[in-house]
Structure 1
């Protein structure tokens, strides 16, 4: 087995070397002879958090890569955004625990690295840090880890060229006319283009990206905010102490993050306007589509108004929405006498979110947008659907788990970047997905440890999960943080073979989360292991398959909004108020019995005397006895056990 693996590894390395030499030869003769031509195996576009995170993994695996950044600093998005400078990502510096992996569950800002100093808790004591502090953190991360970054390089005209049969490369240009080439393109540009849907009178409004952040400019003013996300509420919170009134309008109802368990919905840190609305302090929130109204401007005093489009469209040229004072007041009088927006405004501010920059690609070569046009369409391996060898990381990969998990945010996509790196390692370098191998008798302990500590499956719930490959020889391989939507392709994308598998996924209750759901209802939680399948809070769920699911099964499950296809057996570990799944009777015992039913054998621990008696009395002994006692081995030797034995038995350890 090891010989075969080594031979495959050498063959893979030879093919990569041969491919690189072929590319260099063909490009030098066919594409350009200009000195301003650069070649890399991996190109990462964007030095934001996701680009830096992927750069770290490529750097530590000694890959040929370069990160291209259009500005002169890493994380340039945070130089300007959020406009009011307070992040909404949690910086929980203390948990009462010393376990680093557990603590990382509650650090929403730090990137993964092997440098202990690169943790956000050393940069800020604020629970919600300042954006300027985060810019410093990201640039320290890039510098200390010696990441290869080419700053002040604006990439454009990304395209693909066939240089020989079956061999394509990516080409792209910078603002100085230099051309770069790479075999694998990784897009980490994020969602940085302000969303600007057209509506009549839009020219009279201000945008979130350009509005003043000086509260004095809003002193005694009436303001309308268009939008319903965190940027809209962040803006309202910033100016509420200065304004006469703030109204907020969007096409859909407010979605609260603590109701939906989706961190992209409205966070409590920003929802002060809900108080001033519901406690009747003049401010208000309403639902309407911009297509239903138009903005007009009084040319004399600059006042603005939103009026019903259906009633006024025939009375005004929509191309000329600035009107004289007489017409302005006449139109205001003609609307319904209790129309909610019958007051005039000094400012109308658009806070309508961001979208993906498709303009970076050649006009004939671009990823297909998702249905809402906000993201590039990618598959479960983070690869662009219509472009082979192009991958998407970070916020722009959020189409895979939009409104489902945390893949659009730092504390989520740091793990999807690591998952993609493992996929790239096998696909291009023949290095299988990392795994650990242990006797089956250790499986309960391993699962409980991961359920209690693991950060990746905790933050990327329902999307990344641990996959346990069960082997006939009494051992298992444990793969951490595997993309669950690739389960049916596991051997193909990971290099690990198995038929029987157990999957560990972290999940909320199916009907618990959602806009308007009462997440504080008295019966919101259960502590009874017999009702574990009714658990609502985040808890471990285990799926057992005698063979890997099929592609059809995966598609069917997706249509039914299931995490995975229906398994042969499923087990919910009952939710816990402390998120501690180590209770002997409530958590460990039901888990062990579930695994024993799956494998058809006893996986308990036994003392030597029981194993001795069993060997004398029965034809079969328990698995733990087979794996240890019958091989003449007790507990595996560890340094601490050896020290303990030396204390008991002396230097010669004869006892």
Structure 2
């Protein structure tokens, strides 16, 4: 049985569903193929200990749904005021079970064309079309293929004896088998510390190890680095409560006749080598993409230690035409530099990708959202985005709002343009006008730097371009409320910077 569509999406997680929602709105013929019997099946298993690290701030002091998305990291974008994740869970760090429930209702409410229990076996190309063959003996043909399968495969380090390690995927909330045992955890990400926290009450010793030290999210601003909700284990280390955090590599893991494991470690700081004994070892070294379903001649090029597909500025594979990626597997373009791997980044990238796909199908370029003809209106329009926009907020430093000067001395407003698209698309070559972004970076002007925290808090930045060159930038002051409602107080010269600009 065969069916043909303009677009086929593989994966009905947050990325696949959000993209499908916007393609539905645009009237694009498409189908979503999902191997599980529910949408968002990844979250039915992970995180193992069932608490998300994505923030769910219900009480913000605002009734504006768009603005409230800045503190809602779990809702998918939609046009209904009465449907959001807060209706399913009120917890600040919510339950992953509730996210699964929410996504199931999202798929039903918006009648997304998802084919469940549809496992993709192989992907080939014939006559410039993708041919997706499934175990159900169904074949789907498409002009455009979008891989939204995410990073659901556990990363397995190349270590002699790794087969003796318990995968994170097999962990559970029942930790009784670890009682009074000595445990080694591979990795220093959130899954590693989440697991370490769960073992603190039962283990005799818990050690975590990876070659490099970990990063705190509150220092790096990347929400995938170690989060405060998973930092309980740090107290036990620094207070010398039989636990340890180690920087090093593992040469081998060898079982003993007594059912224990000898781990040969090489410490990063001094190259010293030491063999330590553990009762159990758990692999929490993260996840990666899986490309087994692509035929040998259709494998996408990879990057970032071969964990992710290599992409161009439109999230299209660099070596396979019309193969796009959506979701956590988009990370090639802004790795650990924004919120791309999380639902609150995925949803906005998916909306932009939908626009890219519609433009491609209709043979057009980016469409301006509005035309601004008065200089006071330009400042008001930029102020509105500073107060409410969420895409530039979450994808900080990697997405711009663009205000392009046209031949009639008006400004064309292009919303949420990816940084790489702005730099590469012909439409923005020789660009004159302004860009608006949120970023943590400090001003280049040494006289301006003292006005900002050296830690670098998120704040709006406006850049002025002339004939393709950035000729000036100005930073709006940081807001202790993180709301940017009182722009007159925070302005720092932006109003004058805009109004005295290009208009005659």
TM-score by length of structure 2 reads 0.93
Alpha-carbon shift at residue 118 of structure 1 (Å):
2.9
Q: Secondary structure of 1:105's partner?
A: helix
Which residue is equivalent to 1:298?
A: 256
Q: Secondary structure of 2:295's partner?
A: coil
Which residue is equivalent to 2:493?
A: 590
Which residue is equivalent to 1:509?
A: 441
Distance 1:442 1:189, change over 3 A: same
- Higher relative strand content: 2
Q: Does 1:442 align with 2:400?
A: no
**Residue 443 of structure 2 contacts residue 474 of structure 2 at CA under 8 Å; is this kept in 1?**
no
Q: Does 1:286 align with 2:286?
A: no
**Residue 475 of structure 2 contacts residue 492 of structure 2 at CA under 8 Å; is this kept in 1?**
no
Render the CA deviation track for 1:146-169: whole Å, top value 9, x for unaligned: 00011111113212222xxxxx11
Q: Does 1:237 align with 2:197?
A: yes
Alpha-carbon shift at residue 510 of structure 1 (Å):
5.0
Alpha-carbon shift at residue 197 of structure 1 (Å):
2.1
Which residue is equivalent to 1:331?
A: none
**Residue 248 of structure 2 contacts residue 266 of structure 2 at CA under 8 Å; is this kept in 1?**
no
Which residue is equivalent to 1:183?
A: 143
**Residue 402 of structure 2 contacts residue 417 of structure 2 at CA under 8 Å; is this kept in 1?**
yes
Alpha-carbon shift at residue 580 of structure 1 (Å):
4.0
Q: Does 1:248 align with 2:208?
A: yes
Render the CA deviation track for 1:320-378: whole Å, top value 9, x for unaligned: xxxxxxxxxxxxxxxxxx97653x32111111111111111001111001141110001
- Structure 2: distance between partners of 1:391 and 1:546: 32
Which residue is equivalent to 1:257?
A: 217
- Structure 2: distance between partners of 1:479 and 1:55: 22
- Aligned pairs for 1:13-412 within 5 A: 36-162=1-127, 168-290=128-250, 293-299=251-257, 301-308=258-265, 342=276, 344-412=277-345
Q: Does 1:572 align with 2:475?
A: yes
**Residue 469 of structure 1 contacts residue 498 of structure 1 at CA under 8 Å; is this kept in 2?**
no
- Structure 2: distance between partners of 1:412 and 1:597: 34
Give the count of matched residue pairs.
497
- Higher relative helix content: 1
**Residue 440 of structure 1 contacts residue 474 of structure 1 at CA under 8 Å; is this kept in 2?**
no
- Structure 2: distance between partners of 1:65 and 1:246: 49
Which residue is equivalent to 1:629?
A: none
Render the CA deviation track for 1:275-321: whole Å, top value 9, x for unaligned: 1000111110111112xx3212122x2012213589xxxxxxxxxxx
- RMSD (CA atoms): 2.5
Q: Which has the higher contact order (CA 8 A, sep 6+)?
A: 2
**Residue 184 of structure 2 contacts residue 278 of structure 2 at CA under 8 Å; is this kept in 1?**
yes
Q: Secondary structure of 2:309's partner?
A: coil
**Larger radius of gyration, structure 1 or 2?**
1
Unaligned runs of 5+ in 2: none
Q: Secondary structure of 1:568's partner?
A: strand
Distance 1:257 1:497, change over 3 A: closer
- Structure 1: distance between partners of 2:265 and 2:338: 38
- Structure 1: distance between partners of 2:261 and 2:496: 68
- Structure 1: distance between partners of 2:450 and 2:237: 43
Unaligned runs of 5+ in 1: 1-35, 163-167, 311-337, 513-525, 550-566, 602-655
Q: 1:481 aligns with which of 416, 438, 460?
A: 416
TM-score by length of structure 1 reads 0.72
- Structure 2: distance between partners of 1:499 and 1:207: 51
